[in-house]
Amino acid sequence: MKLVKIDKKQWVEGLNALRKSFRLLGPVKEDTYYSFKELKKGEQPDFSFLNTRLSPKSLLFPQSEAIVEYSLDSREEDHHVMKAIEADESPRAVLGIRPCDAKAVTLVNLNFDTPEYKDPYWVKTLATTTFIGLACDNPKSTCFCTSVGCGPYHEEGLDLLLADEGEKYLAKILTEKGQKFLEAAGWETVDEDTTLFDSKKEAAEDKITSTVATNNLKDQDLLDLHGAPFWEEVSFACLNCGTCTYTCPTCWCFDLQDEVHGNSGRRFKNWDSCMFPLFTLHTTGHNPRGTKLQRVRQRFMHKLKYFVDKYDQGIMCVGCGRCVNQCPVNIDIRRVCALMNDYKADERVCAVQE
Amino acid sequence: MEEHVQNPYVPYPVRIDDITVATEDKSLKTFKFIFLNDGDEEKFSYNAGQFAELSVAGIGEIPIGIASSPVEKGFVKFTVFKAGVVTSHLHNMKVGDIMGLRGPLGNWYPWDLLEGKNILIVGGGFAFTTLRSSIVTMLNPENRSKFGNIDVVYGARTPGMLLYKDELIEWEKRDDINMHLTIDAPAEGWEYNVGFTPPVTEQKAPQGDDDTYAIVCGPPVMIKFTLPVLEKLGYAHDHIIMSLENRMKCGFGMCGRCGIGKELVCKDGPVFTLDQINQTPREY
């Protein structure tokens, strides 16, 4: 493990040097919330946040992204021929991404970068991005990352991990990209002593007291869980507002829509949500997930069972707690996970069947 | 597993070469497309049972089963029911118009497994497109010897609602395929079966055994009453092959909406055995 000390007095100067080779993105405060934005010249990332309201998944998977363009003007040679809009491939660095959100990128990557098909917009943007993580020394009460294969100092998906230590940052180099980032910034003071970093990590992990158990999910029968009686109660208060799916760093579902102005048009990839009835509505009027119960069940079954069975990489959740914090009716994925993990189908045999 | 290196969101440009009204109520039209660019037809190499996204600039996309057969070269064909925004627009398009085609998408009927086997095809209404592709493929002189008996039960409301009627009549005349055409009620000049598809299947279809597979496509009500008939005839659940439909956008497994449990209809399907479908939550 290689640690580099960054004196905070050299922070702004380093960032200015980095701007020569990177577009910089980071958390900024907007009203009462924080969100990830491209930093303007001279603008600094604001690291005083606990977590951003929306996850930074939009940096790789924008809420609305133009992917294809065309002309409808029949006087033009290539009219109605649809052409790819190429992704911006200039190098960028995301400053201060939380370890949970970085791990989420690796989970979403399973969907967009597959052996058969690759989403070129996601894949190219990911390849050109350097992720500078910011370790969490003061997690929120709703953080449960340590029990879902993640943690406040987790390294997956990151190129460099910063830990805040008063007058300085301790930067742990995780990849060659991270090394190059440090070189471009001119931060090269190696710290031989890793004990402080390690003890900070341990202390931070100890602060995460909220946990979920996921150990039985893989062995649970898929159809038993799907038919479990608790979905009625879990979904009862749901408004199908979609907040959970929009704030979630691992939700990846999207829609494709055309937009035309005059004679030129573009096709967009837009975030969509399994909470919306239109998501699955057939033209015939038939809807395979026409009820709220079916839609709420789909969200949790996808994250906690289908994903587990399909990829064998744990659950499709990094414990960031955003959906828990922001759900207007207090539906809590930790509780649903417990219901699913502890479910015993055979104890629920109906009296009539006996 | 085949890797697709191209941008999967970008359609191949195609020109509408021919449009024919496919049913007497004019609700279905068959579109014949020709690829604009050299080499695209080869890249669009498909198997019977696959589908593609018909892509109209400024309107949107719609997933439709491929009705032409891989043995038919120089074009691809789709028969489209006028139902929603894209298909209604498509029905108003003209020969010569330029649009796009994304695919081929999804899996196909398991042709490797079906080699050497007897094939029963049961179709109803306008769900006969990929079945036509399959029949044309199997009847091709190079392929016919690879299969045992071929039986086809195909039903529609009236004679004029049967798709590809000229071809059906041609196949009736052949001795290497057993056609069992049926319509709901007697009609003048109709010399074949009368009655719904499930009872005609019960009367005419061969018994199921290890060496006989059924491919079933049709409206939900036909499926509902045909499956018990096939079970009665002795078809095991892993010998009943179906093709599912769900709302789709991307068509290659990323946008998330067509899931039935952990399977995606667009990428893991649309072709599943009844045995496989029974292990999903049936959200289609």
The architecture CATH gives domain B12-105 = Beta Barrel (2.40)
Q: Residue ranges per domain, chain B?
A: 12-105, 111-243
Smallest Cβ–Cβ distance between A256 and the set B3, B249, B258 belongs to B249
Q: Would you call A300 an interface residue with chain B, using a CB distance cutoff of 8 Å?
A: no
Q: Are strands B271-273 and B240-243 parallel, antiparallel or unpaired?
A: antiparallel
How does pLDDT run across A41-71, given as a tens digit for each residue?
A: 889 999 998 899 999 999 999 999 999 999 9
Q: Would you call A85 an interface residue with chain B, using a CB distance cutoff of 8 Å?
A: no
Q: Encoding tokens for residue A204?
A: 């931070």
For A61, A200, A281, B261, the CA distances from A286, given in Å and listed in that order, are 30, 55, 6, 18
CB within 8 Å: B257 and A111: no
Probe site for chain B from A76, A81, A217, A260 (most B CB atoms < 10 A): A81
Taking contacts as CB-CB distances below 8 angstroms, the residues of chain B near A74 are: none
Count of CB atoms situated within 10 Å of the CB of A128: 17
Smallest Cβ–Cβ distance between A117 and the set B8, B256, B260 belongs to B8
CB within 8 Å: B99 and A222: no
How does pLDDT run across B95-118, given as a tens digit for each residue?
A: 999 999 999 999 999 999 999 999
How does pLDDT run across B192-222, given as a tens digit for each residue?
A: 999 999 999 999 999 999 999 999 999 989 9
Smallest Cβ–Cβ distance between A79 and the set B98, B247, B260 belongs to B98
Chain B residue closest to A68 (CA)?
B10
What's the pLDDT at A273?
Answer: 97
Smallest Cβ–Cβ distance between B3 and the set A116, A281, A284 belongs to A116
DSSP string, A268-329: EEEE--TTSGGGT--TTS--TT-SHHHHHHHHHHIIIIIHHHHH-SS-S-----HHHHH-TT
CB within 8 Å: A288 and B246: yes
Residue B85: HSE in the Cβ half-sphere, 13 Å Cα cutoff: 11
Angle between helices A333-342 and A292-301 (to 10 degrees): 80
Q: What is the predicted ipTM? A: 0.93
How does pLDDT run across A167-194, given as a tens digit for each residue?
A: 999 999 999 999 999 999 999 888 888 8
CB within 8 Å: B247 and A284: no
Helix, strand, or coil here: A37? strand
CB within 8 Å: A274 and B13: no
Q: What is the DSSP letter of B265?
A: T
Q: Residue holding tokens 């990829």?
A: A311
What's the pLDDT at B4?
Answer: 62
A350 pLDDT exceeds 60? no
| pLDDT band (50, 70, 90) for residue A165 | very high
Probe site for chain A from B62, B126, B248, B257 (most A CB atoms < 10 A): B257
- Residues with Cβ < 8 Å from A35, sequence gap 6 or more? A27, A28, A52, A53, A54
Q: Would you call A67 an interface residue with chain B, using a CB distance cutoff of 8 Å?
A: yes
Q: Which CATH class is domain B111-243?
A: alpha beta
**First vs last Cα of chain A: how many Å apart?**
61
The average confidence (pLDDT) of chain B is: 96
Q: Would you call A241 an interface residue with chain B, using a CB distance cutoff of 8 Å?
A: no
> Distance between CA B243 and CA B245 in Å, rounded?
7
Q: Residue holding tokens 């079966």?
A: B193
Count of CB atoms situated within 10 Å of the CB of B19: 17
How does pLDDT run across B41-91, given as a tens digit for each residue?
A: 999 999 999 999 999 999 999 999 999 999 999 999 999 999 999 999 999
**First vs last Cα of chain B: how many Å apart?**
26
Chain A residues 179-198 with CB within 8 Å of chain B: none
Radius of gyration of chain B (CA): 18
Chain A residue closest to B60 (CA)?
A258
B134 pLDDT exceeds 70? yes
Residues A239 and B279 sit within 8 Å (Cβ to Cβ): no
Task: Considering only residues A66 and A346, tell me which one the structure prediction assigns the higher pLDDT.
Answer: A66
The average confidence (pLDDT) of chain A is: 94
Taking contacts as CB-CB distances below 8 angstroms, the residues of chain A near B2 are: 116
A351 pLDDT exceeds 60? no
DSSP string, A198-264: HHHHHHHHHH-------TTTTTS-HHHHHT-TTHHHHHTT-----HHHHH-SS---EEEEEEEETTE
B1 pLDDT exceeds 80? no
Backbone dihedral region for residue B261 (phi beyond 0: left; psi -120 to 50: alpha; all else: beta): left
Count of CB atoms situated within 10 Å of the CB of B157: 17
Q: Are strands A2-7 and A23-30 parallel, antiparallel or unpaired?
A: unpaired
Nearest-Cα distance to chain B for A136, in Å, is 31
Chain B residue closest to A224 (CA)?
B281
CB within 8 Å: A116 and B9: no
Nearest-Cα distance to chain B for A226, in Å, is 7
Q: Encoding tokens for residue A304?
A: 């906690």
Residues B90 and B31 sit within 8 Å (Cβ to Cβ): yes
Helix, strand, or coil here: A36? strand
How does pLDDT run across B137-155, given as a tens digit for each residue?
A: 999 999 999 999 999 999 9
Nearest-Cα distance to chain A for B255, in Å, is 5
Nearest residue to B112 via CA among B159, B48, B175, B67: B48
Q: Would you call A310 an interface residue with chain B, using a CB distance cutoff of 8 Å?
A: yes
| pLDDT band (50, 70, 90) for residue A124 | very high
CB within 8 Å: A298 and B256: no
CB within 8 Å: B58 and A258: yes
Tell me the mean pLDDT in the region A94-113: 97
- What percent of chain B clears pLDDT 70, i.e. is strictly above it? 98
| pLDDT band (50, 70, 90) for residue A279 | very high
Smallest Cβ–Cβ distance between B83 and the set A79, A119, A283 belongs to A283
Task: Considering only residues A42 and A281, tell me which one the structure prediction assigns the higher pLDDT.
Answer: A281
Residue A279: HSE in the Cβ half-sphere, 13 Å Cα cutoff: 30
- Residues with Cβ < 8 Å from A215, sequence gap 6 or more? A341
CB within 8 Å: B57 and A70: yes
Taking contacts as CB-CB distances below 8 angstroms, the residues of chain B near A258 are: 57-60
How does pLDDT run across B220-236, given as a tens digit for each residue?
A: 899 999 999 999 999 99
Smallest Cβ–Cβ distance between B1 and the set A116, A269, A305 belongs to A116
Count of CB atoms situated within 10 Å of the CB of A346: 6
What's the pLDDT at A349?
Answer: 55
| pLDDT band (50, 70, 90) for residue B3 | low
For A316, B12, B54, B212, the CA distances from A116, given in Å and listed in that order, are 21, 18, 21, 32
> Distance between CA A108 and CA A279 in Å, rounded?
19
- What percent of chain A clears pLDDT 70, i.e. is strictly above it? 97
Q: Would you call A64 an interface residue with chain B, using a CB distance cutoff of 8 Å?
A: no
CB within 8 Å: A279 and B99: no
Taking contacts as CB-CB distances below 8 angstroms, the residues of chain A near B13 are: 80-82
Chain A residue closest to B282 (CA)?
A288
Helix, strand, or coil here: B33? strand
> With b meaning 16 or more CB within 10 Å and e meaning fewer, what string describes A84-98?
ebebeeebbbbbbbb
How does pLDDT run across A218-229, given as a tens digit for each residue?
A: 999 999 999 999
Residues B257 and A279 sit within 8 Å (Cβ to Cβ): yes
Radius of gyration of chain A (CA): 23
CB within 8 Å: A265 and B57: yes
- Residues with Cβ < 8 Å from B177, sequence gap 6 or more? B135, B139, B150, B151, B152, B171
- What percent of chain A clears pLDDT 90, i.e. is strictly above it? 92
- What percent of chain B clears pLDDT 90, i.e. is strictly above it? 97
A347 pLDDT exceeds 80? no
Q: Encoding tokens for residue A222?
A: 């898929």
CB within 8 Å: A117 and B249: no
